[in-house]
Structure 1
Amino acid sequence: MKIRYSKNIARDLIIVILLSIILAIFSIAVDINNKIYDILSFYNKIPLAHFLINLIFLLLSGLLFVTYRRWRKTFCHEQELKNIIDSIEPNVLLVTNSDGEIIICNETISRLFGYKIDEIIGKNTDILYKFEFDDTLFQNQILENIENSGFHIGFAIATQKDGTKFQVEVITGNLSGGDGSVILIRDITERKIAQDALKFRLEFEKLIAMISTIFINTKFDKIDSEITEALSEITKFLDMDRGYISIYSQKLERMVSAFDWSKTNRNSESDNLMIYKEIPAIYKKIKNIEVVQIQNIDELSQYSDSGKFDIKSCGIKSLINVPMIYAGQLIGLIGFDSYNKEKSWSDEDIALLRMVGEIFVNTIKRKHTEIELMKKTHEFKRSNKELEQFAYIASHDLQEPLRNIKSFVEILSRRYKGKFDSDADDFMGYIVDSVKRMRLLIDDLLQYSRVGSHAEDFEPTDIGRIVENVIDNLRPMIKETGAKITFDSLPTIMADSIQMEQLFQNLIGNAIKFHSEKPPAIAISTDRKNNDWLFMVKDNGIGIPSDAKNKIFVIFQRLHSRDKYVGTGIGLAICKKIVEHHNGKIWVESNSSNGSTFLFTIPIKSERNNNI
């Protein structure tokens, strides 16, 4: 540790030495003078001269003592500074005088700035660092901070002896008495790198989250454009020249370009494919789901065996390729190229790129899934439409031959009844009954097919009036069974009025048909649940077994024999199709002791479901 003393300290030392010499000479002179006075007896005769000589001696002694104390105080202060300086390695500590000149510094100056101590003493701090805003206003701000808090902390650009720039933190404080400043300089290069890396990761994570949110809300037909846009945003954020996504083709056993974006509208797909073709080791890493990171394209020469492929001809300086994986399988890769500069990637960077790859993979998979879903939906709708059309045509065309069969069998029954044996009469009865059931089945099948293909536009429909019409239609059944039907004030909804009447007629008709020993009691009510109307049709009938609650809504499914309860097994299937056509749901709650309650919802703002 070396310390250079200031000019003031050196001057004080010279004064002390000169005063000591003068005092010594004066003491000798006084001694000689006393002898002369003794000889001449003049000294005793003039008391004033004796007093003046003693006074001068005392003044010189006092001046010498004060100068010595001041020098000792300064020396001790510098010893304290020396101890402080020794304890703050590896930072640079400077002490400046009131003129801003460096009077003390430690050995770190040589390591950090490249200067020797002798080269820096007496120089201004400008030779070492400058603040970004080095103007009068900024200097006044520094002085104000020091006055208020005793010190100022700022960041500056430091310059080494060879001209190299780096960032430092500068802490400035005043010496007591305002005779100068104490300055601590700390190299923050590593800290700045860490801070920049953290800031980069946080901003990258924010960008990834934003892109993920966009993809979640992106419609199917916009996915491709959004992927390209996201790829461009990430490429620009990473300060790369090109970003691309390639999909691995199992059939072709190679990568196929899917998305590509370049700052210069330059497509280097052929360059990348040439790299994979000429250098199998690189392609093998990708197939083994390993990251390919090339900081400098010249490094590729170590992989090239043939020596025929000119690496630099591809025009890429550095690149990174990150495999994209789905369910443990290689789907493709996401890559970034730089044309003019080297680029290295930390483990944290690669982890974020893997996350980006996962987002792209999920989005691409979602796109493919939706394409398949659209194809199957289209196929289903086509098949369903064809089936409905077939059912409608078949049912309609069967009406006429059934009517003819029924008419001729009735004629035979009337004209030849009793002319054959009893078995023939029974057979004709069976034929008539079968034709009636067949006609009923065809009628229900026609109704089922018409729900989706012959539906009317939705309009305001008064459900209370619909229920009243249904009760009028079922008046004979109600009178025969003694059924009692009650209903609350029912709402007006947007619906197909014809289908609503068919829905309530099937539900109320079933409630009457499947009654218990007691007279049927049916209660119709409604409630508002969020954005839906909830309708409830409750009866006191025979109930429905728990294992049959879903079965009853399937077409042609019956729980009872035709001998006990007539019907085709299509009624509740029609109810389900009507409710779903209105974007609602239907289900049943039942037990054998308390009857059944059929519940269904209709959205308050109902729209047609064209998929039904």
Structure 2
Amino acid sequence: MRIKTRFTFSLLKRFSFIPILLIIATAVIIYIIDIRTIYEPYLLLPILNTIFIGGGGFTIAFIAALAYVFGAKRQALLLGGGALALGISALLAGWMFSDSPNVAVTIFSIGALLAAVLHLLGTTQSTKKYPARHSLKRFPRQSIAILFYSGIAIFFIILSLAAIRGFFPLFFVAAEGYTPTRWVIITVYLILFFTSASLYARLYYFSKESFIYWYSLGLAIIAVGLTLAPLATPGDPLNWLGRIAQYLGSAYFLVAAVSVLKEARAKGMGLAQKLGNIWREPAISYRMLVNMARDAIISIDDEGNVLVWSPAAERLFGYSQNEAIGSSFASLVAADEQADSLMIQLDYSNDINNDMADKNQVELELRRKNGETFTAELSVSVGDTPSGRLRMVIIRDITERKRTEEELIKSNKRITDILESINDGFFALDNDWNYTYLNKLSAAKVGLEPKDLIGQNFWKRFPHVIGTAFEKNLREAKLKGEVKRFEMQSIRNPAEWHGFSVFPSAEGISVYWQDITERKQAEEALRKAHDELELRVQERTTELVATNEALQAEITQRKQAEEALRRAYDELEIRVQERTAELARSNAELEQFAYIASHDLQEPLRMVSGFTQILARRYKGKLDKSADEFIDYIVDGATRMQRMIEDLLAYSRVGTRGKPFEPTNLEDVFSQAMVNLKIAIEENGAVVTHDPLPTVMADPTQIAQLLQNLISNAIKFRKREEPPCVHISFKREKGEWLFSVQDNGIGISPEFMDDLFQLFQREHATSEYSGTGIGLATCKKIVERHSGRIWAESVQGRGSTFYFTIPVGRGELQKS
């Protein structure tokens, strides 16, 4: 509905001048053709005058009075008085014309002259730069409006009585028409009306208020009508065309009133508030602005003395208005030795081109009344007034902002230092893909210094990445505003792998990257080993499936006869036992295969490691730096592969090399584990405590390995800021021993809990925490060999607790 209303008023404005052109064109045609048909029905003129000119004038008078009461300038009251005078004169003239034409013309002429004078006074008041003060300042605005309108009404009563009694010269003679006196009055008020209309049009040019537009246009059309009506005898076509023009102008007055109502409703404002805004007294608005502003507003004369001192200035500097006004501005806000410098800086800041908003601002150290200094931002504006040159200064305390900026600079420096110290790469791009920061490692990767790339466009500097997955991931992260993580081979060196994390922001994107070549090589080797093992498992599975199919066929054949079935049953029982034994042997062979594979792999690995160490001892420093690094990589890779094979060997031995269960004193087992972990405990400053432990039926070697693995993990996955603490406790419940190993480490993420005891599963990269991912799988296998259960509970960042159970056996004693 609001859009429809705006469209209607926009359309009306577009075609609002057409009626004026049509009226003028019609008047020219009537004048040329010289049509003189008289049409003057009884009561038509007074009724039309009442509806249009009276209705429009009274409506505008009411709106103008309401605007004045709610804070508008006196221009509004003068405009309302002019509209009221025009409406009353048209109303009286219309109803008195048929009985006494001269009286009607006299009242209308003098009334129109009064309306024209009031309109002109209103327009001249609106164009003054400094409006005059109200002479009746102490009277309420409502009373002033009532007295003013009452005075106009009384004027027309006196005018009517004077015209009836003949106190005025003749304005109209029935046989002759209008007298020279009437023509003089017409000429004067037409000049005044056209002048007022043009001045209101000028006011609309600056204010863009729809009310002023329609009112100025209506006033112009009424002036055209008042020009045409006297040119012909009352009742002939040209006279009626003038009357129609007056009625159309009055209709535009009503459109002006409706436009105010529509705009007030569209903006959620009261009618009075909207009207007050049209003719708001500038001095009132200025005082409201000064009193409500949060920043200090100070006005200074040519001598540097304070003219205006806002409440915010009182709060900022501690001086009251009585203390500040009339005093030297510089002496109030600056030390004596800085006073002259302050005024010079204010003048300089304003002399710079004011078209650049940031140039007429200056930051200075100012002083409060109590002597405290603070950093302030001053915005200066200078203007000429009738009383001289004024400086307007707006002051804002920016002490906190400056402190925040300094903290931000320090924080950015700390972040930069961290990014320069890490062994990974980092760079940042703005929204136009230009470098804003990169650490030395990122620059060194392309053989440059950071300063060589700052400000350069990434795609122009490295066009070879355009069209690759790298470009796609960066653009997708920026477009969706989501963090993007991906891994890819180096475009220039496919042997290298890098992991990227892209973080978008409002300023652009930040990219963190790592060299993950070693991890990828290890993953590839592990994948090949896994594929080979999977192939062997599939082959054995195929054999078992074939065996089961053959067995099913034999069972089906032996169902043909009851006697044959009994014989077949006995034979089948034997065959089932044989197949079961074969399956057990197959599983044992599978475990033996894992053991042999791990054991046999050690020999070539020892040769690789041994010869690499010989190379390192004999040729260290004799080859180039890259060769030394490659030898270190081989030694390190061989060492980690050795550790992985040893862990696999230990994992396979759980089922194949286990000892028979025997009464095992866990105190002794714990002591042995502590001896094995002595170096790790001392290096990490770990504290390992335990409750008195019982004697259980178990394999002492495997239980020692179980405790050692759990305590070792608790020490390894520690928090950096505090030493690890590990506590072992137990309790007996429902025929089993329940043991717990509790630590204060980094904890385990919920997403990893399901894969915690799986072979080769790791939550953290090898670069963060060493290991092979076999230790917890070995723990699970040991506990299951003892017919127990193992699980873990953890809160990430607050530590973990591992639980395992061992069934209670005969003869077990709890050590007190």
The normalised TM-score by structure 1 is: 0.38
The normalised TM-score by structure 2 is: 0.29
Structure whose residues are more often strand by fraction: 1
Structure whose residues are more often helix by fraction: 2
